Homo-oligomer: A and B are copies of this chain.
Amino acid sequence: MDDKQLLADYRRMLLIRRFEEKLDSLFTSGVIKGTSHLYAGQEAVAVGVCAALRSNDFMTSTHRGHGHLLAKGADPKRVMAELFGKSTGYSKGRGGSQHTACAAVGFLGSNGITGGGIPIATGAALAVQMTASAPLTKDGHAGRNRAHPDAVVVCFFGEGGASIGMFHESLNMAGIWKLPIIYVCENNLYAMSVPLHEESAVQDIAHRAESYGMPGVIVDGCDYFAVARAVAEAAARARAGEGPSLLEAKTYRYYGHSKSDKREYRTREEEASWKNRDPILLLGTKLLETDVLTKDAQLQALHEVDAEVEAAVEFADNSPEPDPAAVLDEVFA
């Protein structure tokens, strides 16, 4: 990774953090309705993954999708607008936090159903593989979302999502068909309030990879470099036709599961110990140490992302409400 990318990625992690902190206050103050699941604390995973991807690679996400969206290159303005329920949001206000896609950057959707994105990602990888093995002569419907024959698909899910049948079913198919896909489990120790040991009899999700004939790798989800390295390897494997990988990133979410969560199922000490290894802090320190970043540049980055977040809020705020008369538009394609 060159310095430019490192700086950009550091900035991207900051952006995600500040975006989520802003959201938290917008929710608390009642400006935004509905619900939301904040990504703060897990930034090194999303940004580390994307550091090793190409822009035309694909991604599916979860209920906790803002970080993934922003890391993949979605416009914070339109993400924020979606959260505000405005017509300028990526989903035109119909989807909200849990149902935002950004096809232009290959982001195939956040997903309100735990595990729901896993088979979808697997199918996207199948489309990529079929496109690669037999270059298609005709365009797909509207040709908009054509798979590139050398693309890989990244599929995010939580360790809670690894309990649902779709995890097993999908990894099995990917293993049999040797699909170009990287399954990334963000193990943040809790599914809502349920701790890992009540969700799974084993503590490492990555070991399940053996059941599907693919490599399983555990990485430190607070370490941007570790994540990027592991994904680069998995992506190379996938592009070489060697099939899928399962990565497990050990990580932690700073906020409650959703806005109504008081976090009574975990201790403030546990939270503090994770915050000691804050992914942005870790990367920043490293970049300062290696002179990629200066204190000044760091401050400037913070100012810039704050401005970007403010601009997003302003954009969202000033955007028009969706027209209720158009509620039935686009039910069918």
Contact = CB atoms under 8 A, between A and B. Distances in A.
8 contacts: A163-B169, A165-B165, A168-B169, A175-B200, A176-B201, A202-B211, A207-B210, A207-B211
A191 to B, nearest CB: 12
A199 interface: yes
A76 to B, nearest CB: 36
Interface in A97-139: none
Contacts of A208: 211
Nearest to A212: B201
A133 to B, nearest CB: 17
Contact of A202 (B165, B175, B200): B175
A202 B207 contact: no
Kindly state the interface size class of chain A when it binds its partner: 20 to 34
A163 B207 CA distance: 18
- Rank and list the top 7 A-B pairs by shortest CB-CB distance, nearest first: A165-B165, A175-B201, A201-B213, A168-B168, A208-B211, A176-B201, A202-B213
A198 interface: yes
A197 interface: yes
A84 to B, nearest CB: 36
Contacts of A175: 200-202
A87 interface: no
Which residue, A167, A207, A211, has most C-beta atoms of chain B within 10 A? A211
A172 interface: yes
Given A165-B165, A175-B200, A208-B211, 7 more contacts: A164-B165, A165-B167, A165-B168, A172-B200, A176-B199, A201-B214, A202-B212
A194 to B, nearest CB: 10
A169 B176 contact: no
A202 B197 contact: no
A198 B211 contact: no
B200 A176 contact: yes
A210 B200 CA distance: 11
Nearest to A177: B201
A166 interface: yes
A165 B163 CA distance: 9
A173 to B, nearest CB: 9
Interface string A169-200: 10010011000000000000000000001111
Contacts of A211: 202, 207-208, 210-211
Nearest to A214: B201
Nearest to A178: B201
